[in-house]
Structure 1
C-alpha cells in the first residue's frame, strides 16, 4: 500500500523583515507547506489575498510602520485562519481580532510548527 499524499498547506507569509521572512520560509518548506509571498507590505498582502488559493496565514502585526488590521479583516471575511506573529503581545493586536492566536517573537521553529498543526491542520 502506498502512503497517502497529503495536499500541501498554502500559507500566506506576511512579514516585512527579509531575514525573518527567509528563516520562516525555509522552516515552512520542510513542513509540507507552500509559502505564498512573503508579503512585506499591506498592499502586497491584500493583492495576494485577492488572488486566492490561500489556506492560512502567518501575519506580522506591523509592516514598515503600517498596521495590518485591513489584512486581518480580509482574511477573516474569507474564513482564512491566521496566527499573528509579533513581539508586542496581545495588546498590539487589532481590536477586532484580539481573540486570535499569537506567536510571540522571537519564536522557535517548533513553536511555529505546533501552531500550524493546532490552528491550521486541526491536529
Structure 2
C-alpha cells in the first residue's frame, strides 16, 4: 500500500478506457474511487454533493472544460489534480494544481495526488 491508501477519490474522465485504467491505477495505490463522472453535468453534481477527499479531473470533457468543477472543489477546500492529453493551457486559472499528462504512469499519478493532498484544497 501507499501513503494514499484509503483516500476516497472522485474521478472525472469522459473516455471509458482511460477511466477504467485510472480506476485500476488508483486501486493499486490503495485509493477508493467513490464515483466516476463522464460528463460535466455529472461532475458538477458530484462535486457539489461531496463524499470524497480528493479528485482527479480531466480538463476536457467532450469539448467542455472541467473548470467549473475545479472552482467548486477549490471553494470547498478539496484537493484535486488535472489530467490532460493536451497542454496545460486548459487549466488556467488553476495553474497551481498538479497536472498529469496522458498517457500517465502510476508513479506520476501517485506523485501528483500526494502533492495535491500536501498542499490541501
TM range (shorter): 0.7 to 0.9
Extract unaligned runs of 5+ from structure 1: 1-5
Segments ≥4 residues shifted beyond 6 Å = none
2:22 to 13, 24, 29: 24
Q: Are 2:98 and 1:101 aligned?
A: yes
Cα deviation, residue 55, structure 1: 0.7
Q: Distance in 2 between matches of 1:35 and 1:63?
A: 18
Q: Give the 3 Å change call, closer, same or farther, for CA 22–88 of structure 1 in structure 2.
A: same
- In structure 1, the residue corresponding to 2:55 is in which secondary structure? strand
Contact 2:97-2:116 at 8 Å conserved across structures:
no
Cα deviation, residue 117, structure 1: 2.5
Deviations 1:26-63 (A, max 9, x none): 11112221102210011111111222111111110011
Instruction: Report what 2:73 is aligned to.
Output: 75
Instruction: Report what 1:11 is aligned to.
Output: 9
Q: Distance in 1 between matches of 2:95 and 2:115?
A: 18
Aligned residues: 116
RMSD across aligned C-alpha pairs, in angstroms? 1.8
Q: Distance in 1 between matches of 2:16 and 2:5?
A: 27
User: Structure 1 residues 36-45 or 18-27, which shifts more?
Assistant: 36-45
Contact 2:8-2:52 at 8 Å conserved across structures:
yes
Q: Distance in 1 between matches of 2:95 and 2:5?
A: 30
